[in-house]
A = this chain, B = another copy of it.
Amino acid sequence: MIKVGIVGAIGYAGREFIRLLVAHPQAKLVCAVEMETGKKLQDVLPNLRKLVDIELEIFDPDVIAKKCDVVFFALPAGKSMPLASELVKRGVIVMDLGSDFRIKDAEQYSKFYKLEYTHPELVSRSVYGLVPWYREQIKQADIVAVPGCFPISNILPLRPLVQYAEPNVPIVIDSISGVSGAGRSLNELFHFPNMNENMRAYRIGNHQHIPEIEQEIGGKYTVQFTPHVAPLTRGILSTITLRPTKDINPSEIYKCYDDEPFVRVLPQGQFPEINYVRNSNFCDIGWTYDDRTGNIVIVCAIDNLVGGTAGMGIQCLNVRFGFPEDTGLRFPGMMP
């Protein structure tokens, strides 16, 4: 039984991670760090009553290092690096559900996150936790940067195909996210009557996930990334328009995912829905070639909190500790 800690237990990423961990047969939550110290976790998150009995505690690296095999972080940008550093020093494996360890290029990080890049030496040791592409490295990693939700929904479909893209035409990505992607902080934009029956685009051309996507699709392709938010709680649907330089057969190319337990490529002309993946770790990909325009259009669906965050985190944990990769994750999308 692996002993697991979570720093940032109450935010949406943290609580989703706990929700999955409770159902994991080989891991146990032994430590939950959050600002409401002294309270019982199950009093703050009543969904956990009769399942979890644990007190929220402060971040004390000595205490945590003693009782945890691995600690997950689910904190706002810039907050994990210094804390994680304390645990790494003490030999604890760290997995960050946030964004602090994902960007290898300090300049890009600072530009898009408007934050200082305090621990470059940790970032260079960290492994990007996108399991299908970094499985072997994760097995040995002591710092795993679990990828972001928008990036997962774009890197998985793009990475095998991107080499065939016309390099001078930016790849157009219009991603639509459910509102849970914005986290639990109160904001007029996400007050129910302001968000229900509403949609908007935001941070066009300067969203912080742009450098992460561009880094992981090879570094030489530019993406025109426009995130949108729509009135649903969970799910990301990404629509990618790519201009190929020559005839390709994506069905053949996507065979690289045949043995992936959580990536499913649909036959040409079929497209995924959030319904196929909600509350699951799956990433579903559909594509078509438009002979009128010469473009390939790809649609990808994930649950931003499971396949896009906490589920990918559990999968990293399984890989790192040698459990079957689908341990605690073997459940289909909730439909409806």
Contacts and interface: CB of A to CB of B under 8 A. Distances in A.
Interface of A: 12, 15, 18-19, 22-23, 25, 45-52, 169-170, 172, 174, 176, 178-180, 184, 186-188, 190-202, 204-206, 222-224, 226, 228, 230-235, 237, 239, 241, 243, 261-262, 264, 266, 271-280, 282, 284, 288, 290, 292-295, 297, 299, 301, 330-336
Contacts of A180: 193, 336
A153 to B, nearest CB: 12
Contact of A293 (B18, B47, B193, B222): B222
Nearest to A197: B232
B241 A226 contact: yes
A16 B153 CA distance: 26
A332 B170 CA distance: 38
Q: How many copies does the complex hold?
A: 4
B184 A186 contact: no
Given A191-B186, A204-B288, A336 B197 contact: yes
Contacts of A202: 271
A269 to B, nearest CB: 8
Contacts of A22: 330-332
Given A23-B23, A47-B335, A224-B295, 8 more contacts: A25-B25, A45-B332, A51-B330, A170-B294, A197-B232, A197-B234, A199-B232, A231-B232
Nearest to A263: B50
A132 to B, nearest CB: 13
- Of A192, A204, A292, most buried by chain B (CB within 10 Å of CB) is A192
A210 to B, nearest CB: 8
Contacts of A15: 335
Contacts of A45: 332, 335
Given A12-B193, A192-B191, A241-B172, A230 B232 contact: yes
Contacts of A282: 47, 50
A222 B292 contact: yes
Contact of A197 (B186, B187, B235, B297): B235
A307 B24 CA distance: 20
